[in-house]
Chain A
């Protein structure tokens, strides 16, 4: 099948949507499909062979952060040329409701269009005011995919339509085969040692880092050799200032890490902690930690409970409860067998998120969209084997 994928955000900056698009494209290519990805990118930036640049992106403030997007007559011309040259069987756009290449592609395309919605935007005033325009865009989309239950809920309640829920994929092999950082995770015996990991913005309240800090400080008092490995954007001083001077040596800060180092970091800890207090739509990092074979301790949020199979694949603790977290950490660090049981179940859970599996499900949506535009029913085997 010839598949055209549009990514609204620039490949020059890392981001969840960009990673998703690249992983999906690679998984589809492995399954034997021809894939072309259109995305904004600087002329001289190195791109994978399947990516076509739609020109430089301009930074625009959007939805509380800065999005680098491409929009305007020049971009429109490039989108149309790409569509004509590509002669695709199906067009797959991501986040089509942002002012972006995706929106342009939807408006220029005929035939089967599949759209993936990543963010769970709630009904904004802009959306409500633009309902008529929105309808014209949505009408051109044949099938919709939502990456989380929350994103799907927004579709159903506010955009008057259903969507198929297909989760984000994880490149399981990349995480499972990563080499731990030298010297990590180190010793872990009953009552001593052990390494706990955290990844994300420790300054952002909803990531819940203070909960982990309190639990760590309390546990370190009774457990010598306990270490904390933190990765994510932020100033080292802001992190270390949160800990008593005596404990600072036991805290290691890696700063912002690339995808490869993220995998290594997840392999370097005994327990990965997700102390989030809310707002996570899917919990991508949990599936990545599971893929790395690391035991996960997470707050009892809906999304996390779903990923961790109700607590079979990882330990859940009451959201925001530092005492509960401390107990969970202490118990699991003392008990290698308990960690192994959770990890074994985690392997089963994560197999469902492996990209080849997720890509096959996306292919089924493509088939459904193609059927609804020219009435051809595509054979299951054909779709399955590519």
Chain B
């Protein structure tokens, strides 16, 4: 029966295609989920830095830094990037003393924020590139989840990496 081969070949093809689609859907889902977790972590570190800066401002450096920290803490999503950049500028404008515990907390929080921002940017890029594949768009995989957004802020690192103190 020569038709038989067509049937076999067609079912193999369908099988391979199905496996590929399932794998792709899983991949999109995984990357998307990871980008969302990275965004949550980034959010937590932004709050931490702003809180540490507010604590420091209450004791030293005064009103301007405190205001910048408050604005960063309360900023609505669309104004948040600008508010965080403003806080970074304020922190760079003051002389932070690594020996002071409150200053050290701000420096450490900024360093952790820089790492978190780096990871977030990479994971968002991966997720966006997976979602913008033609097949993924055609089959609307990942619908029901928002497009992962970049969080575009300046590098918040305060001291050059080579000067990171021990501990």
Within 8 A of B (CB), among A130-172: 135, 138-139, 142-144, 160-167
- Pair B121/A380 contact, Cβ less than 8 Å: no
Query: How far apart are A373's CB and chain B's nearest CB, in angstroms?
Result: 6
Q: Which residue of A lies closest to B45 (CB)?
A: A377
**Closest 8 A-B residue pairs measured CB to CB?**
A371-B41, A372-B38, A368-B115, A377-B44, A375-B37, A161-B122, A352-B162, A372-B119
Chain B 111-155 interface 0/1 with A at a Cβ cutoff of 8 Å (1 = within): 110011011111101100110000000000000000000000000
Given A161-B125, A368-B115, the answer on whether A377 and B166 have CB atoms closer than 8 Å is: no
Q: Can you list 6 contacts pairing A with B, beta carbon distance less than 8 Å?
A: A143-B122, A360-B166, A371-B37, A372-B34, A377-B48, A380-B109
Size of the A side of the interface (Cβ < 8 Å), in residues, is: 35
Instruction: Please state if B125 and A357 are interface contacts (CB–CB under 8 Å).
Output: no
Say if the beta carbon of B108 comes within 8 Å of chain A: yes
A162-B37 contact, Cβ under 8 Å, with A142-B123, A352-B163, A380-B108: no
Residues in B with CB closer than 8 Å to A160 are 125
CA distance A242 to B86 in the complex (A): 61
How many angstroms between the C-alpha atoms of A371 and B163 in the bound complex?
25
Q: List which A345-386 residues lie within 8 A (CB) of chain B.
A: 349, 351-352, 354, 356-357, 360-361, 364-365, 367-369, 371-375, 377, 380, 384
Q: Give bound CA distance, A357 to B108, whole Å.
A: 14
**A139 vs B124: C-alpha distance in the bound complex, in angstroms?**
11
Taking a contact as CB atoms under 8 Å apart, the answer to whether B122 and A368 are in contact is no
Q: A349 → chain B, closest Cβ, in Å?
A: 8
**Count of CB-CB pairs between chains A and B under 8 Å:** 81
Q: Which residues of A contact B123 (CB under 8 A)?
A: 142, 372
B interface, size bucket: 20 to 34
By secondary structure, the A interface counts as helix
Interface centre among A135, A372, A375 (most CB of B within 10 A): A372
Give residues of chain A (271-289) contacting chain B, Cβ–Cβ below 8 Å: none
Contacts of A351 in B (CB 8 A): 166
Q: Known: A142-B119, A162-B122, A367-B112. Is A360-B167 also a contact (CB below 8 A)?
A: yes
Question: Are A377 and B41 in contact (CB-based, < 8 A)?
Answer: yes
Q: Is the CB of B166 within 8 A of A143?
A: no
Question: Quick check: is B14 within 8 A (CB to CB) of the other chain?
Answer: no
Query: In whole Å, how far is A156's beta carbon from the nearest beta carbon of chain B?
Result: 11
Are B167 and A369 interface neighbours, CB within 8 A?
no
Q: How far in angstroms is the closest Cβ of chain B from A340?
A: 22
Q: Does B164 contact A (CB under 8 A)?
A: yes
Asked if B76 CB lies within 8 Å of chain A CBs, one says no
Expressed in whole angstroms, the Cα–Cα distance for A361 and B159 within the complex equals 14
Shortest CB distance A100–B (Å):
22
A380 near B34: Cβ-Cβ < 8 Å: no
Hey, which chain B residues are within 8 Å of A357, CB to CB? 164, 166
Q: Taking the complex as formed, is B31 at the interface, i.e. its CB lies under 8 A from any CB of chain A?
A: yes
**Are the CB atoms of B166 and A372 closer together than 8 Å?**
no
B111→A143 contact, CB < 8 A:
no
Interface string of B19-42 (1 = CB under 8 A from A): 000000001000100100110110
Whether B161 sits at the interface, judged by CB under 8 Å, is yes
Bound-complex Cα distance A166 to B41 (A): 21
* B119 touching A361, Cβ below 8 Å: no
Pair A356/B166 contact, Cβ less than 8 Å: yes
**How does the 8 Å CB contact mask read for A208-242 relative to B, with 1 for contact and 0 for none?**
00000000000000000000000000000000000
**Per-residue interface assignment for chain A, residues 154 to 192, with 1 indicating a CB less than 8 Å from any chain B CB and 0 otherwise:** 000000111111110000000000000000000000000
Asked whether B37 lies within 8 Å of A143 as measured between CB atoms, the reply is no
